[in-house]
């Protein structure tokens, strides 16, 4: 096994499936099954979940609304997604817990590094909700931050595309796909698959980033086992 402990960033958009908004339970169930498969390989997993399927702060700001309020709404969206993923995991017998960066004790536990490490040690899949808890950040940055706090061996970004390309492959179908890159190359070439703050934080903490398609069932386990299709970023 290439890694023994990883953090998986699940894009909010992935959860909406073909319906274009919200949560497709069948997709959440499939992602949960992928997580269970990797867990069965003996890998410790924690998860940061996005919120873009429900709300993005920039969408409010671009229509003349207040960015900070928009970001608060976006962070709340990640909590909704985290609860859905926990439900899907619990249903298939995987013990999972949601820790939120924004306190909402009636709904889930609040994040602390201590609690997160204790739950992981107890064998639970820890789902981090609420992003970093601060506006003007993204859940990619939250993923790099939690990856550093959990001391994992790699940050897996499960997204809409199967790796990092020389340009956005959705806009430029002829873009070249990279097998490997360094953090520096992503920043230097301005590759937009992950935000700059997230890549810089991962670089500083020497955390490899693995970008792969979350839409391919079983791909997470294949990559962990050294197969599959992904771009691996390391220093
Ligand atoms: N150089 C690039 N390589 C790969 N994907 C890119 C690149 N530039 C832009 N993208 C786009 O970035 C998207 C992933 O970023 P983002 O929308 O933040 O995803 P997520 O919702 O998974 O966090 C991909 O769906 C892809 O269309
Ligand atoms: O630390 C964070 C993480 C997220 N957000 C807000 O939550 C939204 C949803 O997160 P993101 O866009 O990262 O989700 P994804 O792209 O993974 O679906 C963002 O647009 C921001 O408005 C935020 O304010 N701070």
Residue 62 beta carbon below 6 angstroms from any ligand 1 atom? no
CA of 79 to the centre of ligand 2 (A): 11
Strand pairing report for 96-100 and 125-129:
parallel
Give the ligand with the smallest distance to the CA of 16: 2
Instruction: State the closest ligand 2 atom to the C-alpha of 101, by its place in the atom list counted from 1.
Output: 1
CA of 160 to the centre of ligand 1 (A): 7
ipTM exceeds 0.85, yes or no = yes
User: What integer pLDDT is reported at residue 62 of this predicted model?
Assistant: 87
CA atoms of 17 and 23, how far apart (whole Å): 7
Widest CA span in the chain: 49
Instruction: Pick from 139, 192, 214 the residue to mutate for probing ligand 2's pocket: most ligand atoms within 8 Å of its CB.
Output: 139
Instruction: Pick from 57, 65, 101, 129 the residue to mutate for probing ligand 2's pocket: most ligand atoms within 8 Å of its CB.
Output: 57
Provide block-wise average pLDDT over 10 residues at a time, the chain (235 residues). Answer: 92 92 97 98 97 92 91 97 98 98 98 98 98 98 98 97 96 97 97 96 98 96 95 96
Residue 144 beta carbon below 6 angstroms from any ligand 1 atom? no
Strand pairing report for 154-159 and 109-110:
unpaired
User: What integer pLDDT is reported at residue 103 of this predicted model?
Assistant: 98
Instruction: Pick from 141, 171, 193, 195 the residue to mutate for probing ligand 1's pocket: most ligand atoms within 8 Å of its CB.
Output: 193
- Residue 98 buriedness (CB in 10 A; 0-12 / 13-18 / 19+): buried
Note if the pTM is more than 0.80. yes
Instruction: State the closest ligand 1 atom to the C-alpha of 165, by its place in the atom list counted from 1.
Output: 3
DSSP structure string for 86-116: HHHHHHTT--EEEEESS--TTTSEEP-HHHH
Residue 115 near residue 46 (C-beta atoms within 8 A): no
User: What integer pLDDT is reported at residue 61 of this predicted model?
Assistant: 83
Residue 81 near residue 88 (C-beta atoms within 8 A): no
CA atoms of 78 and 67, how far apart (whole Å): 17
User: What integer pLDDT is reported at residue 67 of this predicted model?
Assistant: 95
Ligand 2, atom 16, lies closest to the CA of 52
Residue 165 beta carbon below 6 angstroms from any ligand 1 atom? yes
Edge to edge, the sheet with strand 125-129 lists 109-110, 96-100, 125-129, 44-49, 5-10, 154-159, 209-213, 231-233, 180-181
């Amino acid at each position: 096994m290439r890694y023994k402990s990883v953090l998986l960033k699940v894009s909010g958009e992935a959860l909406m499936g073909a319906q274009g908004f919200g949560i497709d339970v069948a997709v959440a169930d499939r992602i949960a099954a992928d997580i269970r498969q990797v867990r069965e390989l003996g890998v410790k997993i924690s998860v940061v979940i996005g919120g873009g399927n429900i709300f993005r702060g920039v969408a409010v700001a671009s229509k003349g609304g207040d960015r900070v309020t928009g970001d608060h709404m976006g962070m709340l969206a990640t909590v909704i997604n985290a609860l859905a993923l926990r439900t899907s995991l619990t249903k298939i017998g995987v013990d999972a817990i949601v820790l939120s960066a924004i306190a909402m004790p009636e709904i889930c536990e609040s994040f602390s590094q201590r609690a997160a490490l204790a739950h992981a040690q107890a064998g639970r899949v820890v789902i981090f909700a609420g992003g970093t808890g601060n506006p003007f950040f993204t859940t990619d940055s939250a993923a790099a931050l939690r990856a550093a706090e959990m001391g994992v061996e790699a940050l897996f970004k499960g997204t809409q595309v199967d790796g990092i390309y020389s340009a956005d492959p959705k806009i430029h179908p002829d873009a070249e796909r990279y097998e490997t890159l360094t953090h520096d190359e992503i920043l230097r070439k301005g590759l937009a698959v992950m935000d700059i703050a997230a890549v810089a934080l991962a670089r500083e903490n020497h955390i490899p980033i693995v970008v792969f398609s979350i839409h391919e069932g079983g791909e997470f386990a294949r990559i962990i086992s050294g197969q599959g299709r992904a771009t691996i970023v390391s220093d």
